Amino acid sequence: MRPRKMIHLKSPQEIEIIARGGAVIGALFQELAPRAVPGVSTRQLDEFCEEFIRSHDGAVPAFQGLYGFPGAVCISMNEEIVHGIPRDDRVLDEGDIVSVDVGVKLDGWCSDSAWTFAVGEVDHRTRSLLDVTEAALDAAVEAARVGGHVGDIGAAVMTAVGDHAMGIVRDLVGHGIGREVHEEPQVPNVGRVGYGPLLREGMVLAIEPMLSLGSDQIQTLDDGWTVVTADRSRSAHFEHTVALTSDGPRILTGAPTGAGSETNR
């Protein structure tokens, strides 16, 4: 018989520590938005992110070295969904989109968030992709309520996507987070209301819808890390770390003002 995987509930004091790390990510995204411009390499963005995180006392990049990952953060462009390795030869161009997935570890506790930035002017379909994915995140967070079920979160993503001709990436999921970046439970971006693990006060979840303009199928590139859409259609990724409280879901990671579907010049 398989041992049952534990879901670790966090105390209010522990949630406050996670929120401190989340505030570092929110501040980073605020600084990062105007830097996601044509001509900048993903390596340069990674170096900026690492320096910014480490400038906060006790904070370190949670992804650096995790499972052997070589960057401080994951930076994925266009058809890349997640886990893009920062590179000198991966350079932003006008009309691109770039997703920056950041983990921070502070005082032994982890926070995790991702945001997809427009690089200069983007076309209408790309702008819609960003808007719908961000709206799906908002809906998923709202559904993360004590007494509900994990399936409520995925169902909210599906409802937010609705009739938009976009693929919901099913093979990549959100997760619990705390002492480790990845904890139980898994949080799929598809689901049925009332199904899945019970949502309890003290749970902290990384909720992260990922949508594409085409297929929901994925492939991993030869680098062993970068996950792309199977049809190479563009994808977007938005993520918050969220604590479940008796007063409702509490977002612990800040969003950049005027980012998401907005244009960075």
- The helix/strand/coil state of 63 is coil
Q: How many domains does the chain have?
A: 1
Has residue 255 been placed in a domain?
no
Nearest to 169 by CA among 122, 129, 197: 129
Kindly state whether residue 24 falls inside one of the protein's structural domains. yes
**What residue numbers bound the domain in which 216 lies?**
12-246
**Per the domain annotation, does 205 fall within a domain?**
yes
**257 domain-assigned:** no
Got the DSSP string for 115-135? EEEEESS--HHHHHHHHHHHH
Chain centre to alpha carbon of residue 113: 4
pLDDT digit string (tens) for 32-66?
A: 999 999 999 999 999 999 999 999 999 999 999 99
Residue 1 confidence class, pLDDT cut points 50, 70, 90: very low
For residue range 111-165, what is the model confidence (pLDDT) as tens digits? 999 999 999 999 999 999 999 999 999 999 999 999 999 999 999 999 999 999 9
**Alpha-carbon gap, residue 34 to 21, rounded angstroms:** 22
**Domain-embedded: residue 251:** no
Q: Looking at residue 225, what DSSP letter applies?
A: S
Share of the chain above pLDDT 90, in %: 93
- Spatial neighbors of 191 by CB under 8 A, at least 6 apart, are 150, 151, 152, 153, 154, 155, 157, 158
Whether 225 has a pLDDT exceeding 70, the answer reads yes
Quote the pTM value.
Answer: 0.93
The answer, yes or no, to whether residue 265 has pLDDT greater than 50, is no
Rounded mean pLDDT, 215-226 = 97
Summarize the chain as % helix, strand, coil (round to 5): 25, 30, 45
pLDDT at 4 over 90: no
What pLDDT is attached to residue 255? 75
Tell whether 86 is covered by a domain. Answer: yes
CATH of the domain at 183: 3.90.230.10
Element holding 243 (H helix, E strand): strand 240-245
How much is the pLDDT for 259? 43
